[in-house]
Copies of this chain bind each other. A is one copy, B any other.
Amino acid sequence: MLKVGSLYGPVQEDLRLVEDTFDQIKSVEEFPMLSKMLGQILGGTGKQLRPAIALLAGKFGDYRTELHVPLAASIELLHTATLVHDDVIDASPSRRGRPTANELFNNSAAVMLGDYMFAHAADLIARTDNTAVVRLFAKTIMKIASGELHQDMSAYDYGQDTMAYFGRIEGKTASLFATSAEGGAMVARCSGGEREALRSYGLNIGMAFQVVDDILDFAGDEDEMGKPIGSDLMQGTLTLPSLLLMERHPKDNPVKKAFRTKKPRSEHVAEAVYMVLNSDILNEVYDVARDFRDRALQALAPLPAGAARTALEDIGEYVLKRRS
């Protein structure tokens, strides 16, 4: 597996400051219970892809540690807050092998904890002293929340097409990647062109990231992922592999069988996974992910070469190769 840390060359040190900010967030002195809850939820150091992208984007302009570090920390906190609420909604007991907030505490506490984290993220973003950046992030969360609502409403609807799928993953995943890159560029007062290039990079990397995620739901390592294969289908979520399976077998396929009753039976999900794995579907989906990655790299073309651009390119490679 690719080592992530080494990817982030020019911002590796500032990513450590992002972690320090997380340690500060966890220590809510006036309320030890909240402190303990945050410690349990913010405990696992993730891949920090989004904060790294925000910091790297800043390197193309007037990079300022004292503004970029709170921005990057706020992005990771926002992302984690959306996961906390997602897990309540999906009633997930674990994520990446660790118990979720709703499992550790209860649904009510998880909703409030997520709200607290959203508000704290807003406070961090405001430290950039740039209300345009605050509005960019606010609009992104609006997009993510309305995307989630849309996904919720369209669960078990097997009449969706690939266009709807791409719209959905743009809302739920790619938009925050795009905003991470654009936010980093805005705080660094990059030009309009640089900002647009970095936003396009983030958007396409985010699309590639989610498409790979959807491959891993069929072909990933259950232990590394911390969730069973076929989880999306069990929850009524159509992803690109299952859409292609339906396209190839329009008359009779296990996805329709699984979704018809809104209570997927595991034998139908297992059959769908088996059929996908015994076809070239995942190769085709992987080509789609590579295509998004390529578009991300193309977007970087107008930007000056150097350590920051190389790191962003390496992230593209990592996103394609990751196994969990």
Chain A residues with a Cβ under 8 A of chain B:
28, 31, 33-34, 37, 82, 85, 88-89, 107-109, 111-116, 118-120, 122-123, 125-132, 134-135, 137-142, 144-146, 148-150, 152-153
Contacts and interface: CB of A to CB of B under 8 A. Distances in A.
Nearest to A85: B111
18 contacts: A31-B150, A34-B146, A85-B111, A85-B115, A109-B153, A112-B145, A113-B145, A115-B118, A116-B142, A116-B146, A119-B140, A119-B141, A120-B142, A122-B134, A123-B139, A125-B134, A127-B135, A128-B131
A188 B76 CA distance: 34
A114 to B, nearest CB: 8
B135 A126 contact: yes
A244 to B, nearest CB: 26
Contact of A126 (B123, B131, B150): B131
Nearest to A115: B145
Nearest to A151: B112
Contacts of A111: 85, 88-89, 111
A33 B148 CA distance: 12
Contacts of A148: 112, 115
